[in-house]
Every structure is written in C-alpha cells, then in structure tokens.
C-alpha cells in the first residue's frame, strides 16, 4: 500500500470521526433543548429559572405542581422510552441488515400490545400487572419469531416475513379483544395502544431507567460484533464473532428495552423504525449507529409529544404524531428497498 493511499485512508477515518462527534454533539444538544421545552411549554409557560428551581427542590407557586408532578415525569419518561426504542430498533436493523427489521414492524411491539389489551379488557387490571404482562409477552413473541425463522441460522428476510405474519395474527387478536371490550375498558385499551404519555408518573420512569441502565451497556458492548454481522454470518464468524451467541444476546437485550418502553408508554408508532435510518443519513457510513439512533429516538418522542400537546387545536397522544410521520417514510423505504436492496 502506497504512502498516498495510507494518507487518504487516515484522512477519511479522521473525517468520519469528526462528523460522528459533531452529529452526536448536535443531537445531544437538541435532545436537551427538546427536554427543556417540554418542561417549560404548555397551557402555562414557565421560564427556565422556575423550571430549574423546581428541579432543585425549591417551592415555586404553580410551577411546583405543574412542572414537578406533571411535566417532569412525562418529559423524563419520553426521553427514556425514546432512547430505548431507538437503541432497540437499530439493533434489529443492523443485526439483520434490513431497515424493515424493526420491532414494531415484525410483531414484537404488537406482542406486548396484545398482552396489555388482554390484561385491560379481559382481566380488567391496570398498572404494574399490565406492564409485567406486556414485557413478558414481548420477550415471548420475540423468541417465538426467532425459533420459527431458525434454520441453520437466522436469515434476515425469513425472520422479517415470519415476524410480519405473527404481527398480522396479533393484530387480529387485538381487534377481537377490543370488539369484546366494555366502553370504559375500550377507551383505556385504545389510549394505551395509541402510545401515550398522558398518565406518565415516576412509577413508570424507574423500571424503564433500570432496563436502560442494565441492557443498554450490553448492546453497546456488542456494537462491534453487530457491525460485523452486516458482512454476513460466514465473514463475521471468520473474523472471530460467535454469530448465534451474539445474535441471541442482542435480541434479548433489544427486546427487553423495547418491551419495557412499550409497557411504560404503549407502542409509540415508528420510533424504533425511524431512528436507525435517520441516524444513518446524519452520521454517514462506517460507524456504529447505536448511540446516534438512541438520541434520534429520544428527540423524536420529545418533539412529537410537545407537538401533540401544543401544536394543534386538540391534544393528541404522542403515538398519533409519530404514526403520521412514520407511515409515509415506511412507504418510501419499501419502495427504495425494492430498488436498491435492504440496508440502512
């Protein structure tokens, strides 16, 4: 290799590193701005000084209740579920080398949703029981899809097709449960299935934070091996990756994040699906998408919730806003994938 070639490679790597750092910095700043806006903006606007005082534990007339008890847990939960959805979604997309391999496309989020609908409508329970069933069902459906698609390894296209088939069955189950629901249970189930932060409280924040703290580092530690899986199982194995072990660990960790986020806020549409492709466009090729996708997911949820609560004549759940944004992009991505092949 000539000196000029080495120099070009070094310059290219330096440019990619600089771009990655710049994008991460900008995304982090935007997330903090969106978080602050969610705390300040509403029917009553509170200046930054009042918000900071409330966070520091000081008593501020009006703001202590509105910001401290209503807006703060909601904004923190929006941040956490966005991080979880973004990180979990891009893990599947990277591992299976297809942007359509998102938990909300291949049925994993619907597994949690079906269990939650069953708990609300049939068992007539709420709170921790709904969350526990949603988490357990999400993990169970993920393992079922993995086993059904396993044949001398897991091919991305096969897993996606199996996941879509399972998703359609779960959609039917949810429709049946809603048909049988009483009026109050129907409203509660529909609100949850839309993906909403309206009832956010600290009891939802804590388990979501624990899941992110425990499972997030597992995925970040597996980031290099996940990137190598994009080269194909044989190549990754030749480079020292224990393919099936890496895949199972990544699936369990990613599904855990998505399940906990879904249990806390419902299946917020398309956040897991959109975060990876958006991050890929921003950060460019050749670098890990895990952290930027997590930041994009957090930014999407925070901005969508802020818009749903303040930008229209009526207040809309965050999942409605993200659904409006995500549906056209899904159509575009399917058309693009048909033309160029599935990749982020």
pLDDT in tens, 252-290: 899 999 989 998 898 898 899 999 989 988 887 777 899
Domain 81-340 in CATH 3.30.360.10? The answer is no
pLDDT tens figures, 7-47:
676 676 777 778 888 999 999 999 999 999 999 998 889 99
pLDDT tens figures, 105-152:
888 888 888 888 888 888 887 778 888 888 888 889 988 888 888 776
Alpha-carbon span 178 to 108, nearest angstrom = 19
Q: String of b and e for 329-341 (b: at least 16 CB within 10 Å)?
A: bbeebeeeeeeee
Alpha-carbon span 169 to 109, nearest angstrom = 13
- Predicted pLDDT at 183: 78
- Predicted pLDDT at 301: 96
pLDDT tens figures, 201-212:
898 899 999 999
Alpha-carbon span 19 to 56, nearest angstrom = 35
């Amino acid at each position: 290799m000539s000196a000029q070639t080495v120099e070009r490679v070094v310059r290219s790597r330096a440019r990619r590193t600089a771009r990655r750092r710049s994008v991460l910095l900008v995304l982090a700043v935007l997330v903090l701005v969106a978080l602050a806006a969610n705390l300040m903006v509403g029917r009553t606007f509170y200046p930054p000084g009042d918000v900071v005082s409330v966070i520091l534990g000081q008593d501020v007339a009006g703001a202590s209740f509105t910001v401290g008890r209503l807006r703060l847990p909601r904004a923190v939960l929006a941040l956490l579920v966005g991080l979880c959805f973004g990180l979990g979604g891009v893990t599947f997309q990277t591992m299976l080398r297809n942007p359509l391999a998102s938990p909300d496309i291949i049925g994993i989020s619907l597994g949690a949703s079906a269990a939650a609908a069953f708990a609300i409508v049939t068992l007539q329970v709420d709170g921790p029981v709904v969350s526990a069933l949603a988490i357990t069902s999400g993990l169970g459906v993920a393992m079922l899809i993995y086993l059904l698609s396993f044949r001398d390894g897991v091919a991305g296209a096969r897993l996606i097709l199996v996941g879509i088939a399972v998703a359609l069955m779960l959609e039917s189950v949810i429709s049946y449960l809603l048909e049988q629901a009483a009026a109050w249970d129907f409203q509660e189930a529909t609100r949850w299935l839309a993906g909403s932060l309206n009832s956010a409280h600290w009891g939802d924040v804590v388990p979501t934070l624990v899941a992110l703290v425990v499972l997030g580092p597992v995925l970040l530690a597996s980031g290099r091996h996940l990137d190598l899986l994009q080269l194909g199982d044989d190549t990754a194995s030749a480079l020292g990756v224990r393919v099936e072990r890496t895949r199972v660990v990544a699936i369990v960790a990613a599904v855990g994040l998505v399940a906990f986020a879904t249990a806390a806020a419902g299946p917020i549409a398309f956040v897991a699906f959109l975060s990876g492709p958006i991050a890929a466009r921003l950060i460019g090729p050749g670098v890990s998408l895990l952290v930027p996708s997590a930041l994009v997911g957090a930014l999407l949820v925070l901005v969508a919730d802020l818009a749903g609560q303040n930008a229209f004549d009526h207040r809309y759940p965050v999942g409605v806003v993200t659904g409006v944004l995500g549906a056209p992009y899904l159509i575009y991505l399917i058309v693009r994938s048909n033309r160029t092949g599935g990749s982020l």
